Amino acid sequence: MKVLVVGGGGREHAICWKLAQSPKIDELYCAPGNAGIAAVATCIAIGAEDVEGICKFAEDEKIDLAVIGPEVPLAMGITDALEKKGVKVFGPNQKCSQLEASKSFTKAFLARHNIPTAGYKEFTDQDALMDAVGIYGYPMVLKADGLAAGKGVVIAENEADAKQAIEEMMGQKVFGAAADKVVVEEFLTGVEASMLCFVDENTIVPMQSAQDYKRIFDEDKGPNTGGMGTYSPSLVFTPQLAQQIQERILEPTLRGFQEDGLDFKGVLFIGLMITEDGPKVIEFNNRFGDPETQSVLARMESDLLDVFLAVTENRLSEIKLEWKEDRAVCVVLASGGYPGSYEKGKLIKGLGDVDEGVIVFHAGTKFAEMPEGSKCAACDDDCGLKQGVVTAGGRVLGVTALGATHEEARAKAYDNVKRISFEGMQYRRDIGIVNKRSSNNLQ
């Protein structure tokens, strides 16, 4: 079986790492991949958003299954294009991809099917939105309707900040056409958790839960990022809460997909706020989370290929997902300056020094020729390779450790993080620490 994974970040490294363990795969490709993915798959120099290039490669190489990592190619319709070429695709089609590509589409879906979420109103006119400033009080939640690389949500603390955000979104168009429509929501308070689910036309199955840390600095300070670390399982999940999520969110969502003719096949990532009134949906994404995947797949026992094939063939109900009892913690190492501007090309040291069983998932990395006479960056020795791994993105690596307890996994992750270095490296010291956002105490 020939499998192609599309994308080149930490999430795709985790997917490739897990797929590579399947005995049924003869050839595993990744487009474009990165320096870490190259250890488990053949990297192809085609960008994840080059739909035409990927279709041509899949056709030429007779790919059996394509797995789509990021949201942008999904929203571009890569699934529909590949399916036309006879390739099985794990990842929703363009119609279903609106669940992430349009907040307004998702809010209407949730309202129509009585799925708990924040109340909302939508605006396409800047003056009308200015007049409505503070409609739900403060903080005021403003969301660009379209895809904005995870940055399209503004939580304005007061009227002045809200007006400035409206001017930036609709006047200066800082998110481009993504904010031609803006969704305003009630502000929800509670604890956030991410739930990733496998979905086919008949079945929705949650994976193990995970907790993401979105802000750049410790104690949830500083600007939002793609995610600075995760742990799994989430510590807020009681059996009672899982049952509520199943009945109030997962079951009505699947019924809603069926009623609306949304033939979703892939991962539905549900951002939840656990409020005093129970769980509510903050957002849907239609792909694996990054870096949630780096914690969740590290704990998966089942063969991921079997799950992917079952989803594409609407046989998900036949699969019983199996998980390790171990807990996982993933700490992201980022470039200095991220999520603002940052330099690339910094040599990464210590990649070969981590303990067995600790997984270093690469996100923004690539190979670079090292000067004559230098040591190999991977083994820090004169192995003759002379190829170093350098930084090539904002989030560079995710160090995932497993442990019999949450504390053990956390200690192991940080112990190994300390062995890796590159100029300007920054990471949060509090990933996995149970704080206000991630405790059972909702106060």
Stretch that binds ligand AMP, among 179-187, 298-306, 382-390, 400-408 (CB under 6 A): 179-187
Helix ranges (DSSP H) in 20-93:
51-60, 71-76, 78-84
Pairing of strands 140-144, 182-185: antiparallel
- Residue ranges in 94-133 that form contacts with ligand AMP under rule CB under 6 A: 118
All residues at 6 or more sequence positions from 22 whose CB lies less than 8 Å from its CB, including other chains:
303, 304, 305, 306
- Residue ranges in 421-440 that form contacts with ligand GLY under rule CB under 6 A: none
**Which CB, 8 or 227, lies closer to ligand GLY?**
227
**Which CB, 100 or 303, lies closer to ligand GLY?**
100
Question: How near is the Cβ of 285 to ligand GLY at its closest, in Å?
Answer: 5
Q: Which of 150, 256, 336, 403 binds ligand GLY (CB under 6 A)?
A: 150
All residues at 6 or more sequence positions from 105 whose CB lies less than 8 Å from its CB, including other chains:
98, 99
End-to-end CA distance of the chain: give it in Å, rounded. Answer: 51
**Which CB, 154 or 417, lies closer to ligand AMP?**
154
Q: Which of 271, 278, 350, 424 binds ligand AMP (CB under 6 A)?
A: 271
Query: For residues 58 and 74, what is the distance between their CA atoms, to the nearest angstrom?
Result: 16
Pairing of strands 327-334, 229-232: antiparallel
**Which CB, 93 or 194, lies closer to ligand AMP?**
194
Stretch that binds ligand GLY, among 140-148, 247-255, 286-294, 363-371 (CB under 6 A): 286-294
Stretch that binds ligand AMP, among 105-113, 127-135, 183-191, 395-403 (CB under 6 A): 183-191
Question: How near is the Cβ of 368 to ligand GLY at its closest, in Å?
Answer: 28
- CA–CA distances in Å: residue 406 to residues 231, 301, 330: 8, 18, 11
Q: Which of 42, 76, 77, 187 binds ligand AMP (CB under 6 A)?
A: 187
Question: How near is the Cβ of 145 to ligand AMP at its closest, in Å?
Answer: 11
Query: For residues 147 and 75, what is the distance between their CA atoms, to the nearest angstrom?
Result: 9
Q: What is the identity of the amino acid at 224?
A: N
Residue 71, interface with ligand AMP (CB under 6 A)? no
Stretch that binds ligand GLY, among 129-137, 171-179, 234-242, 284-292 (CB under 6 A): 284-292
Question: How near is the Cβ of 295 to ligand GLY at its closest, in Å?
Answer: 11
Judged by beta carbon distances under 5 to 8 A according to partner kind, the member of ligand GLY, ligand AMP, none in contact with residue 187 is ligand AMP
Neighbour-count burial of 9, counting CB atoms closer than 10 A to its CB (0-12 exposed, 13-18 middle, 19+ buried): buried
Q: What is the identity of the amino acid at 368?
A: A
Question: How near is the Cβ of 280 to ligand AMP at its closest, in Å?
Answer: 8
Strands (E), 19-80: 27-32, 42-43, 65-68
Query: For residues 110 and 256, what is the distance between their CA atoms, to the nearest angstrom?
Result: 9
- Residue ranges in 206-235 that form contacts with ligand GLY under rule CB under 6 A: 212, 226-227
**Which CB, 117 or 285, lies closer to ligand GLY?**
285
Query: For residues 361 and 243, what is the distance between their CA atoms, to the nearest angstrom?
Result: 32
Query: For residues 284 and 203, what is the distance between their CA atoms, to the nearest angstrom?
Result: 17
Judged by beta carbon distances under 5 to 8 A according to partner kind, the member of ligand AMP, ligand GLY, none in contact with residue 290 is ligand GLY
Q: Which of 282, 319, 330, 392 binds ligand AMP (CB under 6 A)?
A: 282
**Do residues 24 and 1 lie in contact, with contact meaning Cβ atoms separated by under 8 Å?**
yes
For 250: left if phi > 0, alpha if psi spans -120 to 50, otherwise beta; the answer is alpha
Minimal CA–CA distance to 331: which of 234, 413, 421?
A: 413
Question: How near is the Cβ of 128 to ligand GLY at its closest, in Å?
Answer: 30
**Which CB, 185 or 290, lies closer to ligand GLY?**
290
- Residue ranges in 131-160 that form contacts with ligand AMP under rule CB under 6 A: 141, 143, 153, 155
**Which CB, 3 or 191, lies closer to ligand AMP?**
191
Stretch that binds ligand AMP, among 182-190, 377-385, 386-394, 395-403 (CB under 6 A): 182-190
Judged by beta carbon distances under 5 to 8 A according to partner kind, the member of ligand AMP, ligand GLY, none in contact with residue 227 is ligand GLY
The encoded tokens of residue 114 equal: 């009585």
**Do residues 355 and 372 lie in contact, with contact meaning Cβ atoms separated by under 8 Å?**
no
Query: For residues 108 and 120, what is the distance between their CA atoms, to the nearest angstrom?
Result: 10
The rounded Cα 405 to chain-centroid distance in angstroms is 24
**Do residues 145 and 137 lie in contact, with contact meaning Cβ atoms separated by under 8 Å?**
no
Residue numbers of the site for ligand GLY (CB under 6 A)?
A: 150, 212, 226-227, 285, 289-290, 292
Which residues of this chain interact with ligand AMP, rule CB under 6 A?
118, 141, 143, 153, 155, 185-188, 192, 214, 271, 282-283
